Structure formats: C-alpha cells, structure tokens
Amino acid sequence: MTSTDLEALASENGLERVGARPPLHRYLADAWRRRDFAATLARYRLQASMSENRLGMGWVVLRPILNAALFGTIFGIIMPSDTRPDNFVPFLVVGFFIFEYFSKSLSGGANSIVGSKSLVRSLTFPRILLPVAIVIRQFLELIPMLIVMMVILILLGEPITWWWLMLVPVMLLMTMFNAGIALITARLTVHVRDLSQIIPLVSRVVFYTSGIFFDLERVLADQPDLLMLARLNPVHDFIALVRGYMVSGNPIEPFMWWIAIASAVVTFTFGIVYFWKAEERYGRD
C-alpha cells in the first residue's frame, strides 16, 4: 500500500496527520474554546513581570511618564515655539501613553512564538493563542495606564467631558489593530529570526512619524504630500483621536475615524489568516 493509499484510508476514517492545519473556521472555534488559556497565560506573565521588580505594576505607568518627561524637556527646549502643539504637556502625555500600548504589543507579538519554544513543542493547541495572550496582557496593563493618564490630564487643567467616553471605542479599535500586528510579527519572526533585531527600529520609526511630541499639521504644513502620508499612519490617527476627545485644542478630522476603522478591521483579518496559514510550521522551524 502506497503513502497515498494510506492517506486516503486515514481520511476515510476521520484520522488527520499530526500537526495538520485545520480549516480556518474550525481553527478559530478551537481557539475560542480555549480562550481561558490565553487569558490565564496573560495574567500569569503579568504577575511574573510584576514580581521581578520592586515597583511591580508601577513601572507600567512610570515608563511612559519618564519618557514623556525626558522627551518633553529635550524637545520642549529645542523645538521652535511656533511648531509646538497647543497644550504641549497634555499633548505629549497622551502621545506617550497611547504609543506605549502599540509598541509593547508589537515587540511582544514578535517574541510570542520564538520565545515560547518549549510550550509550542510540548503541547497541542492553536498557536494563535500565544500572540493573543500578549495583546490581552498589554490590554490589562493599559487599564491602569489610562487611569493615570486621565488623572494627569485633570491635574494639568483639562476639563472632564462626556467626550472622554469616546476613549472606549478608540481603544477597542486599537486593540484589534494591535492584535493584527502581533499576529503578523509573530509569524514573520518565526520565518526570519533576524527580524527580531529590526523590530525596535520599526518601533522607533513609527514613534517619530506618529507625532508623539510635535504637531504633524504644523511641522509638515508646507509639504502636503508628506503630511498626507503621515496621516495614513494608523498609530498617528489613534493617538490623534484620543487627543481630540481629551485634550483641548486638538480637532478631529473625519478621515481619522475611517483610517482607524479600516486599519483595525483589515490588519486584524489579515493577521488571523496570515498567522493561520503557517500553523504547521510553528515549533518545527
């Protein structure tokens, strides 16, 4: 009996090859049934990271605060006042806190598979749960970050309005986007390990092109082509939406919502399919 005959016989009896990639709908259904695994893994890793430092969870909010203070001091001095955005300090605080959510999802997603070799090789489960667990962990860290961000904005004189509630849909869309990015980078670093060395550079590029500490509309006012390209950066638009609803003097353009929605849906959908197509290779490469 040939190997082809054996495969046909196994198929007729409902047997599957070990490690075979299931159909997408069954794969996602299996992942959903095991969603508690991803949530538990996220909480466990969050608790483990907290126990490694004396300040524990404090570093989750201290890191963006220190970065905002450092860059605010440096660029607040060297930047011309006419290119400095209105309400510079609240503008800067929101930029760093929201960017931190993207940056940690990007780097964590890239390491989610290659950093869990023993788990991937010893247990059978949908590998998509690993990058998803990374995003869940970052979302759990985001909650205290947003609370601290709101307190800082209030102390800086920003009025509390009903528009602050728009933070919820914006963050949900950004979570979808971050999950898609984590899935894409998780697969890429499995195929090409050297990409893990480039991820920090990619994060820096996105950082400097997202208008964290400067107003893109002012800096690129005389370069409309570059300004339009910068506006197509989803991270910039997520940050701009949060600023528009929470920081005075930051108007919201309708296109920001369109880019935020489109990038979240497209990136998330593509990330799922792209990651699933390589399911058989995880743990073998």
pTM of the model: 0.86
Is 244 part of any domain?
yes
pLDDT at residue number 231: 81
pLDDT at residue number 50: 67
pLDDT at residue number 276: 93
Is 107 part of any domain?
yes
Is 123 part of any domain?
yes
Count the domains in the chain: 1
Tens-binned pLDDT, residue by residue, of the chain (285 aa)? 454 543 443 345 444 454 567 889 999 999 999 999 899 988 888 777 766 665 556 666 677 777 777 766 766 666 666 666 778 788 888 888 899 899 999 999 888 888 888 788 777 788 999 999 999 999 998 888 888 888 888 888 889 999 999 999 999 999 999 999 999 999 998 888 778 788 889 888 898 888 887 777 777 777 778 778 878 889 999 999 999 999 887 778 888 999 999 999 999 999 999 999 988 887 665
pLDDT at residue number 83: 61
Is 164 part of any domain?
yes
Is 10 part of any domain?
no
pLDDT at residue number 209: 85
Is 87 part of any domain?
yes
pLDDT at residue number 249: 74
Is 13 part of any domain?
no
Is 229 part of any domain?
yes
Range of the domain at 51: 21-281
Token digits of residue 10:
């196994």
